[in-house]
Amino acid sequence: MVRVLPVLNVLGVVLTIFAVAMVVPAAVSFFMDDAAQHAYDEAVLITLGAGLGLWAATRYDRRELQPRDGFLLVALVWTILPAFATLPLIIFLPELSFTDAYFETVSGLTASGATVLSGLDTLPPSINFWRTFLVWIGGMGVVVLAVAILPLLGVGGSQIFKAETPGPMKDTKLTPRIAETAKGLWGVYALITLACIAAFKLAGMTWFDAVVHAFSTMGLGGFAAYDASFGHWNSPAIEVVAIFFMLVAGINFATHFVAFRKRQLTSYRDDPEAKLFLVVIILSCFGIAWYLLGNHVYADFWTALRYASFNVVSVATTTGFSTTDYNQWPIFAPVWMLFLCCFACCSGSTGGGIKMVRAVIMTKQAFRELKRIVHPRAYIPVKLAGQVVENNIVFAVLAFMMVYAGTIISLTMLMAASGLDIVTAFSAIVACVNNTGPGLAQVGPATTYAILTDFQIWLCITGLLLGRLELLTLLVVFTPGFWRQ
Partner 1 sequence: MKIVILGAGQVGSSVAEGLVSEQNDITVIDTDHQRLHELQDRLDMRTVFGNAAHPSVLAQAGIEDADMLIAVTQSDETNLVACKLAHSLFNVPTRIARIRATDFLENERIFSPENFAVDLVICPEQILTDYIFKLVQFPEALQVLEFAHGKVSLVAVKAFQGGPLVGHQLSDLKQHIPSVDARVAAIFRGDRPIVPEGDTVIEAGDEVFCMSATHEIRQVMRELRRMDKPVRRVMIAGGGNIGLRLARALERDYLVKIVEHNKRRCEILSGELNNALVLQGDATDESLLESENIEEMDVFVAVTNDDENNIMSCLLAKRFGARRVVSLINRRSYVDLLQAGQIDIAISPAQTTIGSLLAHVRRGDVTQVHSLRRGAAEALEAVVHGDASSCKLVGRRIEQIDLPKGSTIAALVRGEQVIVGHHDTEVKADDHLIIFVTNKKLLPSVEKLFQVGVGFL
Judged by the rule CB under 8 A, the positions of this chain that interact with partner 1 are: 375-381, 383, 386-388
Shortest distance in whole angstroms from residue 384 CB to partner 1: 12
Alpha helix ranges (H) inside 58-177:
67-92, 98-109, 125-140, 142-149, 157-164
Q: CA–CA separation, 115 vs 424, rounded Å? A: 15
Which residue number, 366 or 388, has a Cβ lying nearer to partner 1? Answer: 388
For residue 462, how many C-alpha atoms fall within 13 Å in the half-sphere facing its CB?
16
Which residue number, 198 or 380, has a Cβ lying nearer to partner 1? Answer: 380
- Other C-beta atoms within 10 Å of 312: how many? 28
Which residue number, 259 or 384, has a Cβ lying nearer to partner 1? Answer: 384
Which residue number, 176 or 376, has a Cβ lying nearer to partner 1? Answer: 376
Shortest distance in whole angstroms from residue 140 CB to partner 1: 33
Shortest distance in whole angstroms from residue 378 CB to partner 1: 5
Shortest distance in whole angstroms from residue 269 CB to partner 1: 18
Per the CB < 8 A criterion, the answer to whether 219 and 136 are in contact is yes
- Other C-beta atoms within 10 Å of 62: how many? 14
Which residue number, 335 or 380, has a Cβ lying nearer to partner 1? Answer: 380
Shortest distance in whole angstroms from residue 390 CB to partner 1: 10
Q: CA–CA separation, 48 vs 193, rounded Å? A: 28
Per-residue burial over 396-419, b if 16 or more Cβ lie within 10 Å, else e, is: bbeebbeebeebbeebbebbbeee
Shortest distance in whole angstroms from residue 307 CB to partner 1: 41
- Other C-beta atoms within 10 Å of 157: how many? 25
- Other C-beta atoms within 10 Å of 98: how many? 12
- Other C-beta atoms within 10 Å of 362: how many? 17
Shortest distance in whole angstroms from residue 389 CB to partner 1: 10
Which residue number, 63 or 383, has a Cβ lying nearer to partner 1? Answer: 383
Pairing of β 382-384 and β 387-389: antiparallel
Which residue number, 386 or 481, has a Cβ lying nearer to partner 1? Answer: 386
Per the CB < 8 A criterion, the answer to whether 130 and 88 are in contact is yes
Which residue number, 376 or 481, has a Cβ lying nearer to partner 1? Answer: 376
Q: CA–CA separation, 100 vs 16, rounded Å? A: 24
Question: Residue 132: is it exposed, middle or buried by C-beta count within 10 angstroms (0-12/13-18/19+)?
Answer: buried
Shortest distance in whole angstroms from residue 393 CB to partner 1: 14
Shortest distance in whole angstroms from residue 368 CB to partner 1: 11
Question: Residue 477: is it exposed, middle or buried by C-beta count within 10 angstroms (0-12/13-18/19+)?
Answer: middle
Which residue number, 85 or 389, has a Cβ lying nearer to partner 1? Answer: 389
